[in-house]
């Protein structure tokens, strides 16, 4: 009987902790993405090099969704985070 009550209390605590962790993990991911976007420079420029043509940069920006609004990029990034494509 005591083990059953103890297991129920542990399960309730575990569920509560996981429920508290979800918003914290989401907030940390959002802050991380926002800080990454505040870094100076362009990801396309870094990937293509200094001699990249504007057309090549525009094509890479479109491929990497860098030309989309902030929240749209965040949703793409979050989806990639869950699928393992960072």
DSSP code string of 41-74 = S-HHHHHH-TT--HHHHHHHHHHTTTTS-HHHHH
Spell out the domain ranges in the chain. 23-83
What pTM was estimated for this model as a whole? 0.73
pLDDT in tens, 51-79: 889 899 999 999 988 899 999 999 988 88
Distance separating alpha carbons of residues 58 and 35, to the nearest angstrom: 23
Measure CA of the first residue to CA of the last residue in the chain; give whole Å: 48
């Amino acid at each position: 009987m005591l083990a059953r009550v103890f297991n129920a209390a542990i399960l309730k605590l575990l569920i509560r902790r996981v429920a508290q962790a979800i918003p914290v993990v989401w907030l940390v991911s959002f802050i991380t993405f926002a800080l990454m976007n505040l870094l100076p420079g362009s990801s396309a420029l870094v990937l293509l090099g200094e001699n990249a043509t504007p057309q090549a940069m525009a094509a890479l920006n479109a491929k990497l969704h860098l030309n989309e609004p902030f929240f749209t990029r965040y949703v793409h990034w979050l989806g990639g985070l869950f699928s393992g494509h960072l």
